[in-house]
Structure 1
Amino acid sequence: MESLVIPVLILLLAGAAVLLMARALGRRTAGARASTAKADSARTSTATAGGTALPGDPAERARAAAAKLTEDQHRRLYALIAQGQAMAAIKLYYEASGDGLRASRDAVGALAAHPQPFHSAAPEAAEPDDDDTPQRFPYRYRAIASKGDVTREVSSNMLNDEIYGRIRTLARSGDTEAAATALTRHSDISMKQAREFIALLDD
């Protein structure tokens, strides 16, 4: 009986040692996971401030920040930066952009490190003027002008009532050269023929 007690005690001690080692290993693994999660959380909070993701490149961050400012805000912000009033600059950017405080602080730091010129919004493309880009219509329009016994006619598929009305208005207002130029753009006649035609409309 005594011969069995010693092996049993050895087995119990070995089992206890294995359990202790397993627990220690489990704690170490849990600590490592917690440390990794904390580091990831810190990186995430650094990358996002005020709920807005910030560009990683400082120069790109400065460009993105400058795009949120009006011309007056841009001028005032750089005046504050030049005067060393960092807190006032952050407050101005915070109010102008709607970003969080941390994002505003980072944005002002990027703007200070990478000065950005002000870029206004691109102006909308102007609609082409009828006089500059004549449209060809599927019909030929006949314009007739007469004075006394003299009559002139212009037939063109680049004229219509609206365009011819503008030409007549120019002629009757005394701007005969502009009227003649417009007529040549909307027809195939020469400038001399256009002036002769317009001369019949200028009264």
Structure 2
Amino acid sequence: MESLVVPVLILLAVVALVMVAYRAARNRRASHGTAPSAQPAAPQELAQAAANRLSEDQHRRIYALIAQGQAMAAIKLYYEVTGEGLRASRDAVGALAAHPQPYRSQEQAQVVEEDDDEPQRFPYRYRAIASKGDVTREVSSNMLNDEIYGRIRTLARSGDTEAAANALTRHSDISLKQAREFIALLDD
């Protein structure tokens, strides 16, 4: 009987170590799943944030690699220049490929963000017209221009119709209901 005590104790120790290792691995996976950074950003926002981390030369080189179909080389370059993790670099390059971003210096990026908060009034009236079948809607405003209307159309076509309607009401004198009707004609 004494000859079985030592192997049984060793077996119990091994089982205990396996259970501790299993729990540690499960806790580590659970903590990564609930971390705030684990929630994926919208692809357009991810692409914009990724483009903002790049210099003009880095931006040009990464898009050249994407255009040549060399995604792995683009991921490697992004990984090297930003110092982000490999998975984050893969996601960023994928977002950049799916949602191309023009290069903007830091000052230009700040100016664009400021434009969204306070609509600027232009010396001319801009007319935007949308129609589908027999239904036609028109928005006329001196707070719209091609760039702002282009952003509104992009939001509508990407499926974010509520943000597009809110942007349209911010840059015109129409109600949210009227903006939603107008956006509904754009989302095709």
- TM > 0.5 fold call: no
TM-score (normalizing by structure 2) = 0.41
Pick the structure with greater CA Rg.
1
TM-score (normalizing by structure 1) = 0.38
Which protein has the bigger helix share?
2
